[in-house]
Amino acid sequence: MDDRRHRFEAQVLPHLDAAYRFARWLARSPTDAEDVVQEAMLRAYRGFDGLRGSDVKAWLLTIVRNCHSTALRQQHQRGVQVPLPEEHDTGAVPALVASGLEPEGESIRRDEQLTLERLIAALPQDYREVLVLREIEELSYREIAEATQVPIGTVMSRLARARLALKKQWTGQLEESLHAVP
């Protein structure tokens, strides 16, 4: 195995799961996310020699974001419509269910997880990107700014707005469910 490939596998491949999770949130479709990540990994390998002292995870997620944007432009040029995820789509994010919960607790937790996934998916893309990168991928503001190619102040304001929008949607959802109970 050549040195370049070995370095690529050692530095980039550990972030493959993060790349897929981010692509999944952006693309909203497992198949599209896989295509985006495949293209991103090819681009990352081709451009790996140009990586100098940068955070590899943020660099890779930037490539994923750019590949997703390119795919969206191509779909719009072809006139392809991307469907919104269905509520029963369990592939959005793996459930984080503790194995020791009672069936009722597991059901409640799964419902909450699906609701959260649906609400995050409904956010505008700019908000969804920074929220997923910060809260799920745990990137710093600097890394998010690098990945999204916007100033840190913009990242901070988008993140604040995304959290506020998510909170409003969540509380609205709770109020609706309380009013629906007889």
Q: Amino acid identity of 164? A: L
Look up tokens 């996934």; give the residue.
Answer: 117
Q: What are the CA-CA distances from residue 152 to residues 65, 69, 122, 141 (Å)?
A: 17, 21, 24, 6
Look up tokens 């997923």; give the residue.
Answer: 132
- pLDDT recorded at residue 94: 45
How far apart CA 22 and CA 66 sit, in angstroms, is 12
Cα-flanking dihedrals φ and ψ of residue 59, to 5°?
A: -60, -45
Give start-end residues of each CATH 1.10.1740.10 domain in the chain: 1-82
> What HEC string does the chain produce?
CCHHHHHHHHHCHHHHHHHHHHHHHHHCCHHHHHHHHHHHHHHHHHHHHHCCCCCHHHHHHHHHHHHHHHHHHHHHHHCCCCCCCCCCCCCCCCCCCCCCCCHHHHHHHHHHHHHHHHHHHHCCHHHHHHHHHHHHCCCCHHHHHHHHCCCHHHHHHHHHHHHHHHHHHHHHHHHHHHHHCC
Q: How many CB atoms lie within 10 A of CB 39?
A: 18
Look up tokens 């390119």; give the residue.
Answer: 70
Give start-end residues of each CATH 1.10.10.10 domain in the chain: 101-182
Taking the domain 1-82, which CATH number applies? Answer: 1.10.1740.10
Q: What is the pLDDT along the chain (182 residues), one digit of tens a residue?
A: 588 889 899 999 999 999 999 999 888 788 999 999 999 999 999 988 888 767 899 899 999 999 998 888 887 777 655 555 555 555 544 444 444 557 776 777 787 788 888 888 899 999 999 999 998 888 999 999 998 999 999 999 999 999 999 999 888 877 776 766 55
- pLDDT recorded at residue 113: 81
Q: What are the CA-CA distances from residue 151 to residues 31, 146, 147, 164, 177 (Å)?
A: 31, 8, 10, 20, 39
Angle at 116 between CA 72 and CA 36, to 5 degrees: 25
Supply the pTM of this predicted model.
Answer: 0.61
Chain length of the chain: 182
Q: Does domain 101-182 have CATH number 1.10.10.10?
A: yes
